[in-house]
Structure 1
Amino acid sequence: MEVHAHSHTARKKWTHYFWEFLMLFLAVFCGFLAEYQLEHKIERDREEKFIQTFIEDLKTDTAAIRQNILFRQNKMKAMDSLTLLLNSQQIKGHENDLYYLGRTFVRGVRFQSNDRTITQLKNSGSLRLIRNEQAADSMISYQKLVEYIYYNQEDDRIERREADPLLSHIFYPSVFDKMVSIDGINRPVDNPPLRSYDKNLHFDLAYYVHQLKGSNFMIEVRLKLLNEKAKNTIEFLKKEYHLK
């Protein structure tokens, strides 16, 4: 019977296993590092996109703010004129002015911030993507000021509605009805009489006008602050994120 000699495989040195382990470790680590870098880049891109859309929102806001400030400045002048007529009892011969001013002072224009980016960040839990703390703080503080203005606007709305009963006692609704058109509020074509010439009702209305002037003034002040904050925030974010 033929006998075959067993072949013996040479034992590998420990350094061989070490290098195998090291190469495997490096392959896994590099894969992890590449994935981490990719995720990090995706988050950076998303952060920059949010900043860009927030800047666009601010630009939209500044245009709306300017229009609202102009409306409130004109309204303040109208309320000053109405207060003067009521308090000085310059009624007879000024019915045309009283009808026009009485109908327009209860009108309002609500400022509505373009909050698409802030809403998306909150609803998706993506505020964490804004890693720049100053940028995040500027966005949050801007939104806080917007909310204060909303509170003031709600007070303004309530005060305007509280004046409605007095208007119905002083003015004829049929005249008001003819003054309203698709283009807004028009002056009466003539000098229609008031429903009431009771000076006590006139003084009561003057008080409501006074209250509204305070709300109108506060909203205008805060809108101006918001406008400055919007412009400063735009410049700051452009500089921080190297945007044009």
Structure 2
Amino acid sequence: MEVHHHAHDPAAPHHKKNWKSYFWEFLMLFLAVFCGFLAEYQLEHKIERDRAKELARSFYGELKKDSVTAAIKVENRLKQEAALKYLISFFKDSSLNNVSKTYAINFEYGISFRSPTLFEPRAMMLDQLKNSGSLRYFKNETLQELIGDLTVAIKNIYSRQDLEHEQRLLYINPILINHYDYDFNDVMKKDGKTIFEAIHQYETSNKTLPYKINQVEILDRQNTINKLNFYLGNVLSSTRQVHIQKYIEVNAELLKLLRKEYHLK
């Protein structure tokens, strides 16, 4: 049996790597890893930019709707304030036994109505931004500060409207309970209309419905005037002039900045 011995051939070429070969291999490996890192970083950055624009667009839409709603609520509040001023003037020296259509309309706007003046900002996107940690996508510090200001403004509005409700229960509802003409209310709503629809139609119509102040004998003019003045000046007007106005200003600044930052329309 023939046995083959594989001995090392001293004449074969010896491929020993020098330091330059190791250096270039290391450099190529480093560049490959670094380029991969850059590509991943750019991808993540693009994803964050796209996510930020998506959130900004939704938030912008919510703010635009609320800006319109806030303007309507301010208009309704101004109408309520004007109605209260009319009633204050009326109770000073007008006849309580022979009241006009104007009195009936102003009593509705000034004392009966409340929900048309309540401002309840949509906060779905705002809550999502805060609760999900998505605020981190907005890199603009001014934008983040304004979102904080908006949160405070909304909180203050709800707090003030709770105060309005408390003061209404104390001072306004007793006037409504004691002296409102509920027969007039029934006639106004007989066709299935809401009182809001009915009073608007009545205000713009030529017809006049009977209306009387109930329990005239217990109506204290000066006490009623004092209650209406307090509710008008210390409660209703200040909510509009301070807290809702603050919300409107912050809302406008946010819309302006979002348009500029994310090219929205």
After superposition, the C-alpha distances for 1:166-218 in whole angstroms (9 at most, x for unaligned) are 42223354444434442525477113352232242x43333332232122211
Listed as ranges, the matches of 1:191-202 within 5 Å are 191-200=211-220, 202=221
1:41 corresponding residue in structure 2? 46
Runs of 4+ in 1 over 6 A off after TM superposition: none
Mark the CA change 1:111 to 1:3 in structure 2 (over 3 Å): closer, same or farther.
closer
Which is worse superposed, 57-66 or 219-228?
A: 219-228
Counterpart position of 2:113:
107
Paired AA for residue 240 in structure 2: E
CA distance in 2, matches of 1:141, 1:177: 45
Task: Extract unaligned runs of 5+ from structure 1.
Answer: none
Q: 1:25 to 1:195 in 2, by over 3 A?
A: same
Shift, 1:120, TM fit: 1.2
TM-score normalised by the chain length of structure 2: 0.79
* 1:18 aligned residue (23, 31, 56): 23
Matching residue of 1:140: 148
Contact 2:88–2:225 under 8 Å retained in 1: yes
**1:118 Cα shift?**
1.1
Q: 1:103 to 1:205 in 2, by over 3 A?
A: farther
| Residue in structure 1 matched with residue 134 of structure 2 by the alignment | 126
- Equivalent residue for 1:182? 194
Q: Which amino acid aligns with 2:177?
A: S
Query: Aligned-pair distance for 1:18?
Result: 2.6
Task: Say what the alpha-carbon RMSD is for the aligned residues.
Answer: 2.6
Distance 1:2 1:236, change over 3 A: closer
Answer whether contact 1:47 1:129 (CA < 8 A) is retained: yes
CA contact (8 A) 2:179 2:215 kept: yes
Select between 97-106 and 125-134 the one with higher mean Cα deviation: 97-106
3-state SS of paired residue (2:217): coil
The answer to whether 1:209 aligns with 2:205 is no
Q: Which moved more, 1:50-59 or 1:99-108?
A: 99-108
Change (3 A) 1:58 1:71: same
- Which amino acid in the other structure matches residue 160 of structure 1? R
Map of 1:150 onto structure 2: 158
Map Cα deviations across residues 65-120 of structure 1 (whole Å, 9 max, x no partner).
11111111111111011112223353121275555444442422211222232111
CA–CA distance in structure 1, aligned partners of residues 213 and 237 of structure 2: 31
Residue among 240, 246, 249 paired with 1:220: 240
Please give the alpha-carbon distance, in whole angstroms, between the structure 2 residues aligned to 1:217 and 1:172.
26
Write the letter of the residue equivalent to 2:261. Answer: E
Superimposed CA distance per residue, residues 49-76 of structure 1 (whole angstroms, 9 cap, x where no aligned partner): 2222222222111211111111111111
1:4 to 1:102, Cα distance in 2 relative to 1, 3 A: closer
TM-score (structure 1 length as normaliser): 0.85
- Alignment partner of 1:42: what SS? helix
Contact 1:171–1:195 (CA<8 Å) still a contact in 2? no
Kept in 1, the 8 Å contact 2:149–2:250? The answer is: no
Unaligned runs of 5+ in 2: 203-207
What letter matches 1:88 in structure 2?
D
Aligned amino acid, residue 72 of structure 2: Q
Paired residue total: 243
Kindly state the Cα deviation for residue 132 of structure 1 after the two structures are TM-superposed: 0.7
The 2-side partners of 1:47 and 1:2 are apart by 73
**Counterpart residue number, 1:117:** 125
Letter of the 1:5 partner, please give it.
A
CA deviation map 1:132-191 (0-9, x unaligned): 101111222123222222222222222223322342223354444434442525477113
